Structure 1
Amino acid sequence: MSVYSVRARIHAASSRSITRKSLLPRLGVSVAALAVLAGTGFEASPRWPARIQVFVANSGSDNVTVYDTRLGKVTATVGVGDYPTGVGAHPAGHRVYVANESSNTVSVIDTRTLAVVATVPVGPNPFGVAATPTHAYVTNFGRDDVTVIDTATNAPVKTIPVGRFPHSAVASPDGSRLYVTNNGGDSVTVIDTASQTAVGTIPVGLFPAGIAISRDGARLYVANTGSDSVTVIETDGNRPSGTTKVGDAPLGVSVTPGGRVHVANTGSDTVSVLGPTGKPLEVVKVQRMPEGSAAAPDDSSVYIANTGSDTVSVTNAENGEPAAPFAVGDAPEGVAVTS
């Protein structure tokens, strides 16, 4: 399948297009949890580490690859809807939500059984997903709004208007705020999750795509695909505090527990690593067309979905050293990590 995303066409209008076989780029979410060896009397240790699973949405093969980092192998391939793009994880780690861009649905995956337990109707062209303990939020790129799903019932309960072409979303660590990038509005919408209403708009760069938040919730990082930059936002006051130049066409972004920001540069086949304030630290070479970025909750690794190579690159979260990539499905885009 060879098509251009709506975002890519907008990008082309500014004379900077990227040829892609996928519809829409996204990023993913990481969730932390403590694991022990139940019923054995032994606690988890470096010899038997906590189970960390990587979920990768393959837009070209309509499925999700599940990779178990403890076993070091792919453990399942889960069929979902048409053109899965964004992936988001529940904070408790027991559910993963996959936006099916051409089906206008979200697939809900049980992370223990690795089976789809619900398919939820949402708006047109769902793109990114973020979750709080009570609700999952889906950005509808084709309708300029966000669908709110009750995580207890897997039913859509509300629609929240946002900016033009909403792309990706991230929730604050305490679940009180949701932040949505508006790819066609060069802005981020701030949503109060108690009232389920938009309470602010933050200006950022050109064609904002991926978004991530620091572990303490103090800073947001927005990848601006059209201006090859990352905007750093202080959440106290919702104000941009700086802009850092990165590689060509940045899309996915993630933050490790240690505060290192990893930005997937689709047009230059690299990952830019930034410090907490946005200071450039290093550039890591990956495979073709990196899009999704997600960090492990134990600060061990960062996972980069390479749309053009059908692989996921693995880098050390503390120093950027590459490990062996692993193969996934066709045209991987979004990625999320749970434990």
Structure 2
Amino acid sequence: MAALVFRKAGLWLAFFVFGLAAAAGARADEAFVTNQLSETVSVVDLDSFEVVATIPVAGKPAGVVVSHDGSRAYVTSPEGLFFTVIDTAARKVLKQVPLEHGYLGIEISTDDKRLFIADWFRHRITVFDTASLERIADIPVGDSPSGMWATADGTRLLTCDRDSNQISVIDLATLKVVGTAKVGERPFAVTATKDGKRAFVANVKTNDVSVVDLETLKEIKRIPVGDTPYGVAITEGHGFVTDQHAGEITIFDVKTLEPVDTLDVDGFPEGIATSLDGTKVYVANWDLDTLSEIDAESHKVLREVDVDDGTRAFGQFIRKVD
């Protein structure tokens, strides 16, 4: 009996030690935040909410997207005429890939195989193979493309054509534009529901968000928001819009399409993204040089962390860490 008790105690101790080791090895998801003026990318641990690394990136970095597998971050540098590839685990720059003009918006396909970069001056989307980093296509769109969004099913890419007051819809099988939808004035950022039925477009000049039916490509609603909406993100129940010049976040109901709340964050809020589980919203504050964490249900600011000078984070900047 004593031997049996000892074996049971040893087994329990083994499980306990293994559990501690697993917990110690667990890592939180991260935010890769571009800081344009300091020419860096800050890596923020979303559990401790501390900066755990700072990566130098030249050329005034602004746009960013993290691959779905979490292994790479891609950063645009509008003044550097290149984009940068970062190994997210090693926290180091792998390569700078040359570009011709001012590129800002950046997005990646759901399978992580293709990278899309918006050419503001040549009015096109440039497509790169992520394995070879070779250019594989240039897709003409409307004037001054900026923000983009790849639908969750991997079939379409939405682009905000800022100076054409429209979004373009690109078929990712053919890499051709298959339709456009008129929206408000100066559309800059776009997101879409998981089912791919609706898009939400932040219109900088008209201070509203266009709701677009992606089956008919018709605008079905304008949601009024604050001054100069810069970015938009959605959870299951609500949409969150960074009103840059108002220093606030407008929150709307994704079903009723009506504003339900505003949240004062001071400064100039710019880039915005949701946590991977949809419970938190993260906002980059340009002139405060901070990243804010917002509870998606209570709409309260939970934490803020100082990052670096000129925080932009325009794009999908949250990294999944396994």
Q: What is the CA–CA distance in structure 2 between the aligned matches of 1:264 and 1:43, rounded to whole Å?
A: 40
Tell me if 1:115 matches 2:92: yes
In the alignment, is the contact (CA less than 8 A) between 1:287 and 1:313 conserved in 2?
no
**Residue aligning to 2:7:** none
In the alignment, is the contact (CA less than 8 A) between 1:49 and 1:70 conserved in 2?
no
Q: What is the CA–CA distance in structure 2 between the aligned matches of 1:313 and 1:291, rounded to whole Å?
A: 11
**Residue aligning to 2:36:** 59
Q: 1:273, CA displacement in angstroms?
A: 0.9
Structure 1 SS opposite 2:163? coil
Q: 1:154, CA displacement in angstroms?
A: 1.9
Q: Larger C-alpha radius of gyration, 1 or 2?
A: 2
In the alignment, is the contact (CA less than 8 A) between 2:123 and 2:140 conserved in 1?
yes
Q: 1:81, CA displacement in angstroms?
A: 2.6
**Residue aligning to 2:220:** 241
- Residues 10-35 of structure 1: per-residue CA shift (max 9 Å, x gap): xxxxxxxxxxxxxxxxxxxxxxxxxx
Tell me if 1:268 matches 2:246: yes
**Residue aligning to 1:230:** 209
**Residue aligning to 2:6:** none
Bigger RCO (CA 8 Å, 6+ sep): 1
Q: What is the CA–CA distance in structure 2 between the aligned matches of 1:49 and 1:233, rounded to whole Å?
A: 40
Q: Which runs of 5+ in 2 are unaligned?
A: 1-17
Q: 1:122, CA displacement in angstroms?
A: 2.7
In the alignment, is the contact (CA less than 8 A) between 2:116 and 2:127 conserved in 1?
yes
Aligned letter for 2:253? G
Q: 1:319, CA displacement in angstroms?
A: 1.9
Structure 2 SS opposite 1:97? strand
In the alignment, is the contact (CA less than 8 A) between 2:49 and 2:305 conserved in 1?
no
Q: What is the CA–CA distance in structure 2 between the aligned matches of 1:207 and 1:122, rounded to whole Å?
A: 24
Aligned residue pair count = 299
**Residue aligning to 1:327:** 306
In the alignment, is the contact (CA less than 8 A) between 1:123 and 1:147 conserved in 2?
no
Q: What is the CA–CA distance in structure 2 between the aligned matches of 1:50 and 1:239, rounded to whole Å?
A: 43
In the alignment, is the contact (CA less than 8 A) between 2:188 and 2:204 conserved in 1?
yes
In the alignment, is the contact (CA less than 8 A) between 1:233 and 1:241 conserved in 2?
yes
Q: 1:50, CA displacement in angstroms?
A: 5.8
In the alignment, is the contact (CA less than 8 A) between 2:278 and 2:296 conserved in 1?
yes
Structure 2 SS opposite 1:184? helix
Q: What is the CA–CA distance in structure 2 between the aligned matches of 1:299 and 1:270, rounded to whole Å?
A: 20
Q: Which segment is superposed worse, 157-166 or 231-240?
A: 231-240
**Residue aligning to 2:319:** 338
1:298 to 267, 273, 277: 277
- Identical aligned pairs, as a percentage? 30
Matches within 5 A, 1:124-135: 124-132=101-109, 133=111, 134-135=113-114
Q: What is the CA–CA distance in structure 1 between the aligned matches of 2:281 and 2:252, rounded to whole Å?
A: 13
Aligned letter for 2:48? L
**Residue aligning to 1:36:** none
Flag the 1:50–1:280 CA change in 2: closer, same or farther, 3 A: farther
In the alignment, is the contact (CA less than 8 A) between 2:126 and 2:135 conserved in 1?
yes
Q: Indicate the RMSD between aligned Cα atoms, in angstroms.
A: 2.0
Aligned letter for 1:246? V
Structure 2 SS opposite 1:333? coil
- Structure with bigger helix share is 2
Aligned letter for 2:164? G
Structure 1 SS opposite 2:138? strand
Q: What is the CA–CA distance in structure 1 between the aligned matches of 2:269 and 2:69, rounded to whole Å?
A: 27
In the alignment, is the contact (CA less than 8 A) between 1:121 and 1:156 conserved in 2?
no
In the alignment, is the contact (CA less than 8 A) between 2:36 and 2:62 conserved in 1?
yes
Q: What is the CA–CA distance in structure 2 between the aligned matches of 1:55 and 1:241, rounded to whole Å?
A: 34
In the alignment, is the contact (CA less than 8 A) between 1:179 and 1:189 conserved in 2?
yes
**Residue aligning to 2:4:** none
Q: What is the CA–CA distance in structure 2 between the aligned matches of 1:92 and 1:43, rounded to whole Å?
A: 24
Q: Which runs of 5+ in 1 are unaligned?
A: 1-39
Compute the TM-score of the two structures, normalised by the length of structure 1: 0.84
Matches within 5 A, 1:1-339: 51-132=28-109, 133=111, 134-256=113-235, 258-277=236-255, 278-335=257-314, 336-339=317-320
Structure 2 SS opposite 1:164? coil
In the alignment, is the contact (CA less than 8 A) between 1:187 and 1:203 conserved in 2?
yes
Flag the 1:148–1:241 CA change in 2: closer, same or farther, 3 A: same
Q: 1:199, CA displacement in angstroms?
A: 1.2
Q: 1:169, CA displacement in angstroms?
A: 0.6
- Residues 259-286 of structure 1: per-residue CA shift (max 9 Å, x gap): 4211000010000111214221211111
Aligned letter for 2:296? A
Q: 1:287, CA displacement in angstroms?
A: 2.5
